[in-house]
Amino acid sequence: MGRSSRVGTQTTWVTYQSVIGDRSSLFAAIRDAWSPSTALYLGSYVDLSPSTAIPAVTYVDSDRRAARFFDDRELVADQLRGRSDPGAVTEFLCMDYTAELPLAPGSFDLLISLYAGPVWDSGSRFLAPGGLLLANNSHGDASLAALDPRLSLEAAVKADGDRYRLDRAELDTYLIPKSPLHADPDRIRSQGRGIGFTKTAFAYVFRYVDSEAWTVVIGDD
Ligand SMILES: C[S@@+](CC[C@H](N)C(=O)[O-])C[C@H]1O[C@@H](n2cnc3c(N)ncnc32)[C@H](O)[C@@H]1O
């Protein structure tokens, strides 16, 4: 019997799937499109799905139940067995992601913000120039990203149960506010939720096209 079926009432990625489903196909689609090597997931709880597709993922959450799950390395390995590369690395920080995180600036290829946040304000500094932000709109990150000139939309994520796919066509039809007056970053932050868009998606993938950061990287060569 694997550890997955011997954990009693402990919250694990497998038990959490009864709430959120299995998002592995979302991260497989992102891997197939852009091959990110590293990801930072702020407000991850126990959602281990990125590790099925991305070689090195750092998870951050302040919830002790998440810490208990990730601290059990054998259990994490058991739930990923046969579903990730053998060399996949998972790290967990039990921290408030608005605090000073012990991570190198600009060191991640992908920043993940799903049903938490907004995390973009705290997490943008850790994203590499040209990196990707995966964000949904529940806590406002997709709305803030849509208004941030450092980001450009790469794809909308469509979901059908556990099946996810990227829509990279007609991107200018997404992220159009139903009420343009609501498209105000201060308002979105104070309300802690996204604004309504005329066309919806599960989430969005943005590219960090910060020209100043690119200049620094190119200048280092
Ligand atoms: C609604 S859950 C979403 C979990 C997961 N991202 C998902 O999509 O299922 C939000 C998570 O964000 C975490 N969270 C919220 N604010 C946080 C903060 N400032 N620092 C660290 N974790 C935070 C909570 O502990 C919780 O686990």
**Boundaries of every domain in the chain:** 3-220
pLDDT of residue 142: 97
| 171, burial (CB in 10 Å: exposed 0-12, middle 13-18, buried 19+) | middle
pLDDT of residue 216: 45
Q: How many angstroms does the Cα of residue 214 sit away from the middle of ligand 1?
A: 30
| 124, burial (CB in 10 Å: exposed 0-12, middle 13-18, buried 19+) | buried
Long-range Cβ contact pairs of 187-193 (< 8 A, separation 24 or more)? 188/118, 188/140, 188/143, 188/144, 188/147, 189/118, 189/121, 189/140, 189/144, 191/140, 192/118, 192/139, 192/140, 193/137, 193/138, 193/139, 193/140
Identify which of 61, 68, 126 to mutate to test ligand 1's pocket (most ligand atoms within 8 A of the CB). 61
The residue contributing the CA closest to ligand 1 atom 19 is 96
The residue contributing the CA closest to ligand 1 atom 10 is 116
The residue contributing the CA closest to ligand 1 atom 22 is 61
Class of domain 3-220: alpha beta
pLDDT of residue 210: 72
pLDDT of residue 9: 85
Q: Is residue 143 classed as helix, strand or coil in its secondary structure?
A: helix
The residue contributing the CA closest to ligand 1 atom 5 is 44
Q: Which residues contact 208 (CB under 8 A, 6 or more apart)?
A: 124, 127, 128, 129, 130, 131, 132, 133, 150, 151
Q: H or E element: which one contains 89?
A: strand 89-93
Q: Return per-residue pLDDT of the chain as tens, 221 residues.
A: 445 544 568 999 999 999 999 999 999 999 999 999 999 999 999 999 999 999 999 999 999 999 999 999 999 999 999 999 888 999 999 999 999 999 999 999 999 999 998 999 999 999 999 999 999 999 999 999 999 999 999 999 999 999 999 999 999 999 999 999 999 999 999 999 999 999 999 999 999 997 464 444 433 43
Q: How many angstroms does the Cα of residue 170 sit away from the middle of ligand 1?
A: 31
Locate 215 and state its tokens. Answer: 């200049």
Q: How many angstroms does the Cα of residue 114 sit away from the middle of ligand 1?
A: 8
Q: How many angstroms does the Cα of residue 148 sit away from the middle of ligand 1?
A: 22
How much is the pTM? 0.93
Identify which of 44, 126, 134 to mutate to test ligand 1's pocket (most ligand atoms within 8 A of the CB). 44
Residue 16 alpha carbon, nearest atom of ligand 1: 9
Question: Pick from 122, 161, 119: which is nearest to 141 by CA?
Answer: 119
